[in-house]
């Protein structure tokens, strides 16, 4: 991914892809017709902690933008990292979907998040129920932020 590459995608309210720019299609390795109508999690990498998506959905449901470092899965099984911005989209005051703009993150934040996400995934694996695993992983993240006396956004922006 080059510095000037911006990956853009849009989904409906259920998270199904309704648009992807050429850069998104190229990096994902899918054909456009294979992406449109599919859930956006078709590119979710298994190394991504579920708690990150929980946090994202909390922000979106509160009508706030989410920023995060995301490891995406390509059709081939390869992956690529992005600094993602996800926002709710409205038409005439009604939620009609979400759109995301993603760019290349710094090598520093990729190293930082790789280590953090590994800890979060390990924490998720320690619990048998889906809710308990996500709660524990989310707590690990919030405890880390509290220890550093920094918000999630500040944490991401500091390194992005």
Q: Given this model, what pLDDT does residue 51 score? A: 92
Determine how many CB atoms are found less than 10 A away from the CB of residue 157. Answer: 13
pLDDT confidence band for 107 (50 / 70 / 90): very high
66: which strand partners?
A: 86
Q: Which CATH number fits domain 7-159: 1.10.3720.10, 3.30.450.20, 3.30.750.24, 3.60.130.10?
A: 3.30.450.20
User: Where are the chain's structural domains?
Assistant: 7-159
Residues 6 or more apart whose CB falls under 8 angstroms from that of 90 comprise 96
Tens digits of residue pLDDT in 9-32:
999 999 999 999 999 999 999 999
Q: Given this model, what pLDDT does residue 158 score? A: 78
Tens digits of residue pLDDT in 81-100:
999 999 999 999 999 999 99
Tens digits of residue pLDDT in 58-80:
999 999 999 999 999 999 999 99
pLDDT confidence band for 138 (50 / 70 / 90): very high
DSSP for 35-61, please give it.
HTTSBGGGGB-TTS-HHHHHHHHHHHH
pLDDT surpassing 80 at residue 160: no
Token output for 69? 């470092």
């Amino acid at each position: 991914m080059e510095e000037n590459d911006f990956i853009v995608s849009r989904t409906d309210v259920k998270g199904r892809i309704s648009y992807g720019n050429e850069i998104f299609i190229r990096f994902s390795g899918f054909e456009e017709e294979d992406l449109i109508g599919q859930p956006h999690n078709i590119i979710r990498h298994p190394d991504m902690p579920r708690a990150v998506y929980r946090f994202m959905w909390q922000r979106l449901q509160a009508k706030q933008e989410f920023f995060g470092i995301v490891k995406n899965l390509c059709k081939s099984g390869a992956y690529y990292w992005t600094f993602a911005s996800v926002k709710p989209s409205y038409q005439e005051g009604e939620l009609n979907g979400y759109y995301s703009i993603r760019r290349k993150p710094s090598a520093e934040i990729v190293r930082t998040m790789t280590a953090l996400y590994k800890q979060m995934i390990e924490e998720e694996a320690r619990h048998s129920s889906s809710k308990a695993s996500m709660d524990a992983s989310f707590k690990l993240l919030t405890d880390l932020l509290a220890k550093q006396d920094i918000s999630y956004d500040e944490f991401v922006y500091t390194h992005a």
